[in-house]
Amino acid sequence: MKRRVVVTGVGLVTPLGTGVEKSWNNICSGVSGIDHITRFDTSDYGVKIAAEVKDFQTEDFFDKKAGKKLDLFVQYGVAAARMAFDDSGFQVTEENCGRVGVITGCGMGGLPTIEKYHKVALDRGPKKVTPFFIPMVIPNMPSGHISMDIGSKGPNLSLSTACAAGTHAVGEAYRHIQYGMCDMVVSGGAEAVICGLGVAGFSSMKALSSRNDDPQAASRPFDKDRDGFVMSEGAGMMVLEEYEHAVARGAKIYAEVCGYGLSSDAYHIAAPPEDGEGGVRAMRSALEDAGLAPENIDYVNAHGTSTPLNDKCETGALKTVFGDHAYKLAVSSTKSMTGHMLGAAGGIESVFLALSVHGQIAPPTINHNEPSPECDLDYVPNVARKMDIRAAISNSFGFGGTNAVVVMKKYES
């Protein structure tokens, strides 16, 4: 017998604000968090825009000494997890700590710290590299520090599956609870790689938008004039909990997680197959796991990166999975406002999905001014929509051909 899994806590650090209320209000209001890069001199760069987190204060979450030992992606992850755990109202004790786990996703780890200390080693010698360098940059440090922060002693895992990492982490957390390995898991994704090396690398792949003259209009998923994604950063964490466990302690419940699917394209290191076949299998697997028919889904938080190929392929995959019902779906890409947070995207979008189901509102796809001929679904253009959302899915597709889908439905006792 599979156990039911619900969302009982959420936390966000995004370019739209630190904290769930600020981020979610801006998402529903169609506010963009994209602007010109301030982290480094972009004079020699063709891409000069990104979605930076601008209101995050390290000292709000860590003392000065501790903060200096943590790369920004770890700080974001721990801060978002702390918000989610506080929101859940749960207390870890010696009796229950072994039943509480942490599973996080991260695409690239501490790239800014790698960049910084590579220069230190070249300019000042290897002895000037801090002993905290390795613990600062390895991708599993959010999960490790979150576990230490809350005192959980159950599974402690980190997944690195590029832009699908956050969704894979949420899905695996769901599985751990569903099959009885945990009663509660803190899960999501964290990323912070807006640095010279990171922007240079993605620019070389021709993956980024170069709409430098109008940053807030640069991310335009499914629009005819889309020209690439916008790099972003942040963290999204949630507390997943076994249903009976949550009810017994009177927890607030945002939504029920009811399905998870994953697949591989086995096609290309960066591009999806033209027919979106890998995404099709992941969505179908997630629906089967949830015990839902395609027509039971009302809303899709799309991967929707704003790249010409991804948006076309995802639209085609949705049509294959949902048939005629695809034209009745509300489909939106919150990346139009947040930019693409890489390994954190799925964690943040899973939080957005839970809030959509809880609040019965579909966020907009902003900058959707002229529909692309091959993207002809209802993308909730420019204005959020109050609507009946019985069940919804979130898609994440990553480099290496890895795909992840989670399904959530409106909570019913």
Phi, psi of 30 (to 5 degrees): 75, 35
Domain definitions of the chain by residue range: 5-248, 260-409
CA geometry: angle at 230 spanning 237 and 67, to 5°? Answer: 45
* CATH code of the region 5-248: 3.40.47.10
CATH 3.40.47.10 is held by the domain 260-409:
yes
**Cβ–Cβ < 8 Å for 190, 235:** yes
* pLDDT in the model for residue 87: 98
* pLDDT in the model for residue 330: 98
Walking along the chain (413 residues) 10 residues at a time, the average pLDDT comes out as 95 98 98 98 98 96 93 98 98 97 97 98 97 97 98 98 98 98 98 98 96 98 98 98 97 98 96 94 98 98 97 98 98 98 98 98 97 96 98 98 98 87
**Does the fold of domain 260-409 match that of domain 5-248?**
yes
**Cβ–Cβ < 8 Å for 127, 136:** no
Pull the structure tokens for residue 334.
């919150």
Pull the structure tokens for residue 188.
């999501």
By C-alpha distance, which of 197, 162, 171, 158 is closest to 77?
A: 158
CA distance 47 to 199: 7
CA distance 340 to 69: 26
* Residue labelled with tokens 């000037």: 128
* pLDDT in the model for residue 243: 98
* pLDDT in the model for residue 246: 98
* pLDDT in the model for residue 134: 97
Residue 119: Cβ-neighbour burial (10 angstroms; 0-12, 13-18, 19+): exposed
Q: What is the DSSP string of 77-101?
A: HHHHHHHHHHHHT----TTTGGGEE
* pLDDT in the model for residue 413: 79
* pLDDT in the model for residue 375: 97
What is the dihedral sign for C-alpha 159, 165, 169, 174? negative
Annotated catalytic sites, by residue?
A: 163, 303, 340
Phi, psi of 164 (to 5 degrees): -100, 0
Q: What is the DSSP string of 295-356?
A: GG--EEE----S-HHHHHHHHHHHHHHHGGGGGGSEEE-THHHH-B-GGGHHHHHHHHHHHH
By C-alpha distance, which of 207, 323, 180, 208 is closest to 270?
A: 207
* pLDDT in the model for residue 391: 98
CB atoms within 10 A of CB 373: 7
* Residue labelled with tokens 């520090």: 145
List Cα–Cα distances, 39 to 28, 195, 280, 362, 379, in angstroms.
27, 7, 38, 32, 32
Q: In this structure, which amino acid lies at residue 125?
A: G
CB atoms within 10 A of CB 315: 22
CB atoms within 10 A of CB 268: 11
List Cα–Cα distances, 301 to 24, 218, 314, 330, 362, in angstroms.
14, 19, 11, 9, 8
Pull the structure tokens for residue 135.
């613990």
